[in-house]
Amino acid sequence: MANPTAFLREEYEKLVEGSLDWKLWVLEGPSAPHTVVNGREMIMLCSNNYLNLTNHPKVKEAAKRAIDRYGAGSGSVRPIAGNMEIHEELELRIARFKRCEAALVYSAGFTANEGLIPQLVDKGDVIISDELNHGSIIDGVRLTKADRMIYGHSDAGELEKALKEARKAEYRRILITTDGVFSMDGDLAPVDEIVELAEEYGAITYVDDAHGEGVLGDGGRGIASHFGVEGRVDIEMGTFSKAFGVMGGYVAGSLDLRLFALNKSRSWLLSASHSPAVTAACVAAIEVLETEPQWVRKLWENTNYFKQELKSLGFDTGISVTPITPVIVGESSVAKRLSERLFGMGIFALPIVFPMVARDKARIRTIMSAGLTREDLDTSLEAFEKAGRELKII
Ligand SMILES: Cc1ncc(COP(=O)(O)O)c(C=O)c1O
């Protein structure tokens, strides 16, 4: 009899042959600006821990206190016996922070997109999506019975064309979905233009603000605040796994949205609620953002310095306008060698290669943190310069 699971190894080996397999690095300490990876001290340049809130004493303390008061787990899904007062408190805090009516927390940003998007549209509707949207939006879109249209990356002209077509076809609902910040290039969706178009064509807007909150806008309130369209994006989706330094997804908007989402999203209804420690840490992270504006300021100070210096050294940093700064080198093999050389000099910055980006746009993706000092940045820049010259990138 043939082995029915033989494909597991065969497919894995194909990935290895094409250098498309993931090799896992092991952090032997916290996710912090300085940490130990695979036994070596590193300056961290590829974590989403923008504000270093993973290590903020108030955030850690809140998690410890929550365990003492509420225990280690929630015991159930929210609609049955897993809805604790701290889950409700977190949602009120998010709504206040995002200056909207209500919010709903999901186990992750991924499950928010995957759980809610397919409920918003159905047969007879259409979803219009940026071609470079995150995989969790793509999976959410794949679960709908709605028609789909894809527009060129951040191209408001193409979006309008799609909206015209959608209007002509007399769809019941039109849903526009986009990432706010695109995580491979660090560029922004033109959310102001998208909102204008949506209002003109009667479409619903759904913006994934995973890399925008804690980073962009007034006090890190995100991309809607950055573009001055707060209150005009129908559904703002976010995550606690990046600048907030914890984990968990959410959607924020109207009270109607919250009630709809909690009654309809299968990833919410059928998956246990967050542990008290995680939930309390999220509440504390919002509180830190509201009361300690210095972290967002420091993030941008670091970002502006690092980006400018990389450019002055002659590196191609693409079209980034955020703390995600790619160093585009072209071929995958060069990106991999650059990453290895950096690792050898104590800099943890990983390559991003095809199929995540185009074949000729392989890169090292750096992500800035407010926890890095000027000295750390200069050490990193020296390493980039040395490795860049050795590999004839600059
Ligand atoms: C744009 C975007 N949306 C959603 C997610 C998923 O967020 P989470 O880590 O909370 O599942 C990510 C994380 O990679 C992301 O970059």
Of the candidates 47, 35, 133, 20, which has an alpha carbon nearest to the alpha carbon of residue 366?
A: 47
Residue 292 has pLDDT above 90, yes or no: yes
For the residues 311-339, what does the mean pLDDT come to?
A: 96
Counting atoms of ligand 1 from 1, which one is nearest the CA of 183?
16
**242 carries an active-site annotation:** yes
Residue intervals of the chain classified under CATH 3.40.640.10 are 57-291
Catalytic residue among 56, 242, 274, 361: 242
With a 6 Å cutoff on the Cβ, whether 212 touches ligand 1 is no
pLDDT of residue 20: 82
In terms of C-beta density within 10 A (0-12 exposed, 13-18 middle, 19 or more buried), how is residue 286 classed? buried
pLDDT of residue 82: 97
**pLDDT single digits (tens) 326-379:** 999 999 999 999 999 999 999 999 999 988 888 899 999 999 999 999 999 999
Q: Residue 75 is encoded by which pair of tokens?
A: 């015991």
209/183 Cα distance (integer angstroms): 11
Residue intervals of the chain classified under CATH 3.90.1150.10 are 18-47+294-390
What mean pLDDT, rounded, does the chain reach? 97
With a 6 Å cutoff on the Cβ, whether 132 touches ligand 1 is no
Residue 11 has pLDDT above 90, yes or no: yes
For the residues 68-92, what does the mean pLDDT come to?
A: 98
pLDDT of residue 355: 85
* Residue in the block written with tokens 């972290």: 295
Task: Please state which of the four CATH numbers 1.10.1370.30, 3.90.1150.10, 3.40.190.10, 3.40.50.720 is assigned to the domain occupying 18-47+294-390.
Answer: 3.90.1150.10
For the residues 289-306, what does the mean pLDDT come to?
A: 98
**274 carries an active-site annotation:** no
Counting atoms of ligand 1 from 1, which one is nearest the CA of 239?
10
**pLDDT single digits (tens) 218-276:** 999 999 999 999 999 999 999 999 999 999 999 999 999 999 999 999 999 999 999 99
What does 311-373 look like in DSSP terms, one character per residue? HHHT-B-TT--SSEEEEEEESHHHHHHHHHHHHHTTEE--EE-TTSS-GGGEEEEEE--TT--
**pLDDT single digits (tens) 140-186:** 999 999 999 999 999 999 999 999 999 999 999 999 999 999 999 99
Residue 18 has pLDDT above 90, yes or no: no
**154 carries an active-site annotation:** no
371 Cα: distance to centroid of ligand 1 (angstroms)? 22
With a 6 Å cutoff on the Cβ, whether 241 touches ligand 1 is yes
DSSP 51: T
With a 6 Å cutoff on the Cβ, whether 209 touches ligand 1 is no
For the residues 300-317, what does the mean pLDDT come to?
A: 98
* CATH class entry, domain 57-291: alpha beta
Residue 28 has pLDDT above 90, yes or no: yes
Percent of the chain with pLDDT over 70: 100
Catalytic residue among 56, 87, 134, 211: 211
Could you tell me which residue, 40 or 356, shows the higher pLDDT? 40
Residue 21 has pLDDT above 90, yes or no: no
Residue 1 has pLDDT above 90, yes or no: no
Catalytic residue among 74, 129, 183, 339: 183
